[in-house]
Structures are given as structure tokens and as C-alpha cells.
Amino acid sequence: MTVQEQIKDIRSQLRLYMNGVVSASMRKSGLDYKLNFGVELPRIKEIAATCEPSVALAESLWVEQTRELRILATLLYPREEFTVETANHWLKEVGNIEIANLLVMNQLQHIEGVCPLSFQWIADKDELIQTIGYATISRLLNRGVEMDERAASEFVNQAVVAAVSGEFNLRNASIMALKNFMKQSPNNKYTILAAVEPYADSSDELAKVLYDIIHNEASYL
């Protein structure tokens, strides 16, 4: 079966599970796609399980500009073949936070040596790419990846700034990364507490929210 035949078959399966209500709800929440079948993620994963992963199929699915096909692209690209070059190319075309998070979960966190790359992403001018960088770092921290002192200092400084000045998704991603960094060790916890201490009596609402979130998290560690 050719790639185009596979995509035609996938589209047929997606039509069986079309949900206009879900699609409309996503559109209202800001997740706008050229085409969105409104198929829920578990169903998409079921379809992915019927397909043989391949670079050609995943690349073809990615360029289709359809929500479900893009999600399938992140699931069907063989991880061992997903390169840094592919990552940087796809990042420029992600488009929204849903695809961004799935790309991080299904591919980016698994790239060998991705930690230095994620630091490049958090320094990018584009806030969605920054968000992807923090989401990637967060997953790496959850998996036990540790930073050296210099990297940790750079991460903390940039993450705190993002947490008080970025847009909603960027703030959430940077705060989650800070939380996961705190969980790694008592020293990390005290480093983050010290970093947010200047915000204890801040008149800036976002800064005060960050301070409260970090102190609440620290109380459980």
C-alpha cells in the first residue's frame, strides 16, 4: 500500500469517529485547525496501532494540516529516526499547544542529547517554541535527567522570567518545569525558593502567584 493509500484509509477511519461538537469546542478554545474531525485521542491512538511507523508516512501526515493526521504523525515517526533537524523543522510548523504537547511527549523528549537543544528552544523569540522547550525539560526532569550547576542556574533564571511575563501556556510550562526541578533534590528546592523570594510582597499579580505556587509545592517536598 502506498503512503497516499494509507492516508486515504486513515481518513476513512477518522470519518467514522467524527465529532462536530468536540471540533467546535476546540475551535472556541483557540485550537484552530485547517481541518479537525474532532476525534478523541484514544481513538487516534487506536488508528495509529493499525499502522506501520515510517518516516515517509509520518512526514506526509504532518504536511496535511489536519489535526488528527498531525497527531498521528507524532505517533508514527520512528523515534530512532527523529533527528534534531526534523525537530527544528517541525517546531516552526507546530501551530498550537495541543500539537506542541503531543510532539514533546511522543518525540522530542526521546531525542538523544535533547537537553542542550531544549535550552536553545527556551531562548527562542517565539513563545510557543519556548513553551515546547520548558515542556521538554519538564519531562526530562521527571525521568531523572540532572543539570550541571551552570545549566541549572541558566534554567532557573529563564524559567522564573517566563513564569511571570509569558503568555498563559508559557507560564504553565515554565512553572511545571520549576516544580519538577524542585522535586529532584533539597538543594534544588532551596534554589527555587531563593529565586522567587523577591516576589514575596510583589504588587505584580503574576509574580505573587508564582511565589505562592512555589511555596505551596515546597511544603509537600
Say yes or no to pLDDT of 20 above 90: no
Average pLDDT value for residue range 19-26: 84
Say yes or no to pLDDT of 33 above 90: no
pLDDT in tens, 35-60: 999 999 999 999 999 999 999 999 99
> How high is the pLDDT of residue 45?
96
Whether 201 is in a domain gets the answer: yes
Range of the domain at 26: 1-81
Residues 136, 131: Cα–Cα separation, whole Å: 9
Segment among 18-22, 39-43, 146-150 with least mean pLDDT = 18-22
Pinpoint the alpha helices (H) of the chain. 3-16, 20-28, 41-49, 55-62, 67-76, 84-91, 97-106, 114-122, 127-142, 149-165, 168-184, 186-196, 205-218
Are 40 and 129 in a shared domain?
no
Are 35 and 119 in a shared domain?
no
Whether 123 is in a domain gets the answer: yes
Q: Is 50 helix (H, G, I), strand (E, B) or coil?
A: coil
